[in-house]
């Protein structure tokens, strides 16, 4: 099995006529994803890679039965795009856009509270269930189907970890990049709970980074609720306090967010934390036998 996306997922791409939108639409289609619609206001009636373009998400949903949105809309309009997708009944929104103002995401979080739309991102690579469906920008060839779930705050580190797993003959059930912004949709705890309930996921890898308290909160949840093996890695172990490292949320401030604190919390919850990223794949392989 997998979580959130599978062979039945029907994708609408918001911003499909832009350079990034059209390129990654083609890549998703090539992987086998059912991209059934695109949306760019004012360009309804066109086609991109054989996919019909509509003026609104609601029209796209009504005409094609789309249930998942992939967003490549510029930062100033991305929050409205997320809320439009939700109002049209989209079940899962994957927002790739980076640089969305934090106050805009505050509005999005408030809007999504109490409805059925799940959000991945923003500022993320998306989600892939190898061999089934890709909704995002990750390099498809490095993935292979298997029982390992992957959750990561970092896009590029996700690719490194997945490549190591695949080379170690450890396939993945679903890989999700949750994004590194201060305000995101689904978090570590949300996805850990889904992986725990997925009978075909036998272990989970959690890739965290400095800044915030997401990893510490995940550690508490894992200790109390997760029966499957969890492996971890924390990026930014050498980052100085006060310096942002890559992501808007990756900054040590006010005495919190340090890598050593996160590692201590995870290890205290019984999680095997790998200090050297280059050894993660072989370590997981050895640990799982």
Residue 158 near residue 134, CB atoms below 8 Å: no
Q: Is 247 known to be catalytic?
A: yes
Close Cβ partners of 53 (under 8 Å, ≥ 6 residues apart): 16, 17, 37, 38, 39, 40, 43, 44, 45, 46, 47
Instruction: Select which of 24, 110, 143, 247 is catalytic.
Output: 247
- Asked if residues 97 and 75 have their Cβ atoms less than 8 Å apart, the reply is yes
Indicate the helix (H) or strand (E) that contains 71: strand 68-71
Specify which residues 127 forms β-bridges with. Answer: 135, 176
Q: How far apart are CA 184 and CA 179, in angstroms?
A: 7
Strand order in the sheet with 172-177: 133-136, 126-129, 172-177, 145-152, 203-209, 230-235, 272-273
**What is d(CA 202, CA 225) in angstroms, rounded to the nearest whole number?**
15
Distance CA 228, CA 182 (A): 28
Residues catalogued as catalytic: 247
């Amino acid at each position: 099995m997998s979580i959130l996306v599978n062979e039945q997922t029907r994708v609408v791409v918001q911003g499909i006529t832009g350079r990034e939108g059209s390129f990654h639409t083609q890549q998703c289609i090539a992987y086998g994803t059912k991209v059934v619609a695109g949306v760019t206001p004012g360009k309804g009636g066109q086609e991109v890679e054989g996919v019909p373009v509509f003026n609104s998400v609601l029209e796209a949903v009504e005409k094609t039965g789309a249930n998942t949105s992939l967003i490549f809309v510029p930062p100033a309009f991305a929050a409205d795009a997320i809320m439009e997708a939700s109002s049209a009944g989209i079940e899962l929104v994957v927002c790739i856009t980076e640089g969305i103002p934090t106050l805009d995401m505050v509005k999005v979080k408030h809007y999504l509270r109490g409805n059925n739309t799940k959000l991945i991102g923003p500022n993320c690579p998306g989600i892939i269930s190898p061999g089934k469906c890709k909704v995002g920008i990750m390099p498809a060839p490095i993935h292979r189907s298997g029982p390992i779930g992957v959750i990561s705050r970092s896009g590029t580190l996700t690719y490194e970890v997945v490549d190591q797993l695949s080379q170690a003959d450890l396939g993945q059930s679903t890989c999700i990049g949750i994004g590194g912004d201060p305000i995101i949709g689904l978090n570590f705890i949300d996805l850990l709970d889904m992986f725990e309930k997925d009978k075909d996921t036998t272990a989970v890898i959690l890739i965290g980074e400095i800044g915030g308290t997401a990893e510490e909160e995940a550690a508490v949840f894992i200790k109390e609720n997760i029966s499957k093996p969890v492996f971890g890695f924390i990026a930014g172990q050498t980052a100085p306090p006060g310096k942002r490292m890559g992501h808007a949320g990756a900054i040590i401030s006010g005495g919190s967010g340090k890598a050593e604190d996160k590692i201590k919390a995870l290890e205290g919850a019984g999680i095997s934390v790998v200090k050297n990223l280059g050894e993660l794949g072989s370590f997981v392989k050895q640990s799982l036998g």
